[in-house]
């Protein structure tokens, strides 16, 4: 049974549990990375045999294999993928930005260039899991940013195949190359390159503890999106909601992972009890009860507070990944919400709407990092470069000021560089 508590009797740290004792896999991951760096494709094929039970002759899916996989996808689901992709594309198109040029001062031109990353690696969980939504969410912003080559890695089945639904999503999203490899070894291959897997500039996408640790270890060699923690949902609800509906929303995240956290904050003790009862009924019917029940019983909570405003204050301190605001006039509170990965407004906006279809990105900051980070978007796939131009007269007008600044910092060569052109009658 989920715990029901009064807000005055529980600390913020207890409301949304994030201090999990995860296994230390750093040495194992370091060994895998070193092996891939040294042995390349041979190491990758050996790990495919060891971890996936697959005897492979090649890592990359051929065009024929991709076409064969597409032929296995239900046409109705292909249509759904296309519609979801269109929504994601329309939302993220608004994030595409261009550079700028400033020329307000005589003889001075300043500016910024926005340039796409050349190669990006997309990690997609596979094996027993299948997340075509992750492909769409991560690949579409990259393509809108102008990434030249998008490389996807995902574990394969024992027969060496990849889920047709994953391949279909990749095709719709514009993924250029697909490789049947997963785990820490796939991250290593993307970071350092092998005979067939290209070295990339950035790695994005979720994974297990080994993937997360590998991303941590290769950071600096390549960029990464984030180190994602377990999924979280915080629902704020008044007493006018349907408890069965709210319970279903909480379970939508609890079924992800035993470490996932589902929390409800409500102003009604009676409603809290009804939600707890509805959770128990739904848990007993849930195919993934073995995962969802530990999440609800160990990490889940229903918190009773005095007002919606007080609930939002708690939410801002916690900075949840997903925040549902289940009230009649949600827009009245939107500007008060400062820290959340994604906000779901009103009674008709369940979290899975954002996971799959609405168009907003479902790769979100977890573990309280919504205090300073953002959902995955187009900006994650670009870099910015500044440029400047000064005419002779423009430089001469400020050279001595620059020199004074430099001397104050004890950097004499800087001062000389700023003034030497005017003293030597520099070229126009």
Provide the CB-side half-sphere exposure for 61 (13 A, CA): 32
Distance from C-alpha of 417 to C-alpha of 149, rounded to nearest angstrom = 41
Which neighbouring-strand residues pair with 60? 179
Which is catalytic among the residues 322, 324, 351, 362?
322
Task: Show Cβ contacts of residue 395 under 8 Å, excluding neighbours closer than 6 positions.
Answer: 421, 422
Q: What share of the chain is helix, strand, coil (3-state, %, to 5)?
A: 45, 15, 35
Three-state DSSP class for 390? strand
Give the max Cα distance, the chain: 86
Burial 73-94 (b: 16+ CB within 10 A, else e): beeeebeebeebbebbbebbee
Which is catalytic among the residues 171, 255, 321, 324?
321
Task: Taking the CA atoms of 343, 350, 301 and 229 in sequence, report the sign of the dihedral they define.
Answer: negative
Tokens of 91: 């939302």
Tokens of 120: 């990006």
Tokens of 330: 């949600």
State yes or no: is 9 an active-site residue. no
Q: Residues with catalytic annotation?
A: 321-322
């Amino acid at each position: 049974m989920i715990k029901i508590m009064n807000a005055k009797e529980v600390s913020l740290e207890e409301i949304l549990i994030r201090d999990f004792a995860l296994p230390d896999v750093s040495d194992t991951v370091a060994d895998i990375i070193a092996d891939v760096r040294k042995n390349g494709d041979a190491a990758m094929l050996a790990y495919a045999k060891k971890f996936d039970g697959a005897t492979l002759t090649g890592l990359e899916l051929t065009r024929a294999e991709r076409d064969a996989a597409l032929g296995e996808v239900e046409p109705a689901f292909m249509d759904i993928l296309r519609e979801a992709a269109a929504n994601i594309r329309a939302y993220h198109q608004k994030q595409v930005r261009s550079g700028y040029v400033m020329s307000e001062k005589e003889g001075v031109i300043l500016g910024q260039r926005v340039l796409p990353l050349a190669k990006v690696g997309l990690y997609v969980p596979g094996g027993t899991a299948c997340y075509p939504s992750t492909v769409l969410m991560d690949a579409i912003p990259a393509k809108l940013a102008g990434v030249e080559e998008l490389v996807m890695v995902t574990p394969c089945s024992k027969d060496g195949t990849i889920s047709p639904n994953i391949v279909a999503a990749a095709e719709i999203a514009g993924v250029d190359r697909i490789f049947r490899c997963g785990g820490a070894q796939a991250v290593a291959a993307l970071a350092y390159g092998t005979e067939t897997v290209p070295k990339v500039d950035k790695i994005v996408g979720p994974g297990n503890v080994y993937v997360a640790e590998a991303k941590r270890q290769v950071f600096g060699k390549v960029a990464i999106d984030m180190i994602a923690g377990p999924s979280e949902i915080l629902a704020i609800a008044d007493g006018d909601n349907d408890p069965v509906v709210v319970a279903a929303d909480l379970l939508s995240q609890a079924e992800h992972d035993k470490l996932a956290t589902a929390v409800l904050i409500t102003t009604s003790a009676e409603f809290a009890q009804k939600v707890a009862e509805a959770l128990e009924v739904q848990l007993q019917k849930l195919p993934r009860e073995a995962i969802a029940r530990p999440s609800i019983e160990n990490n889940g909570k229903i918190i009773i507070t005095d007002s919606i405003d007080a609930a939002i204050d708690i939410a801002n301190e916690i900075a949840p990944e997903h925040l549902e605001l289940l009230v009649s006039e949600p827009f009245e509170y939107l500007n008060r919400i400062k820290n959340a990965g994604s906000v779901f407004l009103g009674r008709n906006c369940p979290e899975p709407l954002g996971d799959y279809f609405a168009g907003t990105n479902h790769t979100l900051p977890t573990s309280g990092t919504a205090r300073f980070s953002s959902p995955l978007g187009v900006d994650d796939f670009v870099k910015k470069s500044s440029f400047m131009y000064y005419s002779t007269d423009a430089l001469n007008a400020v050279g001595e000021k620059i020199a004074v600044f430099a001397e104050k910092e004890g950097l004499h060569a800087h001062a000389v560089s700023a003034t030497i052109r005017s003293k030597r009658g520099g070229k126009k």
